[in-house]
């Protein structure tokens, strides 16, 4: 693992699609950006923030997400998400994440990820099915 720098940040944008609405994914019946889709976007932003620090065969897995979803976003609106590294404790990396649409802050989160060797991690998971 390369040295992970605290306060490193990554920002990405997306346009909310019909497939990401609560009414489509089953997390509600309203036609707004679904909470699980917002959380997945937050997690993906954290993953991308760490990409420059990963070495061959390394990846991270999410171990904790504490989030709020504070404002509704309609289909077709742009959402911007920024993940900032706030702490590194050995193989655990912590983030502060903020998601905004074109009008409001729509969500905030704290998120922890753990560095793993992809091949070993997947092999251990597959062992569960064999027992």
Using CA atoms, how far residue 37 sits from 2, 102, 124, in Å, is 30, 17, 28
Residue tagged active-site, from 24, 35, 58, 59:
35
Residue 19, classed as helix, strand or coil, is: helix
For residue 35, indicate whether it is catalytic. yes
Residue tagged active-site, from 45, 60, 69, 84:
69
90 is an annotated ligand-binding site residue: no
62 is an annotated ligand-binding site residue: yes
For residue 69, indicate whether it is catalytic. yes
Residue tagged active-site, from 43, 73, 84, 111:
43
**How would you classify residue 113: left for phi > 0, otherwise alpha for psi between -120 and 50, otherwise beta?**
beta
Q: What's the longest Cα–Cα distance across the chain? A: 51
Sequence-ordered list of residues with C-beta below 8 angstroms from that of 116, at least 6 positions apart, any chain: 58, 59, 60, 61, 91
For residue 51, indicate whether it is catalytic. no
Rg (CA), the chain: 16
Annotated binding site for substrate: 62, 113
Catalytic sites, residue numbers: 35, 43, 69
């Amino acid at each position: 693992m390369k040295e992970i720098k605290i306060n490193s940040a990554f920002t990405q944008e997306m346009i909310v699609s019909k497939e990401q609405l609560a009414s489509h994914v089953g997390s509600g019946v309203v036609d707004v950006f679904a909470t699980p889709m917002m959380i997945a976007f937050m997690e993906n932003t954290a993953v991308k923030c760490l990409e420059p620090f990963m070495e061959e065969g390394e990846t991270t897995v999410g171990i904790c997400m504490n989030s709020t979803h504070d404002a509704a976003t309609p289909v077709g609106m742009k959402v911007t998400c920024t993940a900032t590294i706030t702490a590194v404790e050995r193989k655990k990396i912590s983030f502060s994440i903020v998601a905004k649409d074109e009008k409001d802050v729509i969500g905030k989160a704290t998120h922890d990820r753990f560095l793993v060797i992809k091949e070993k991690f997947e092999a251990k998971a597959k062992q569960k099915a064999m027992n």
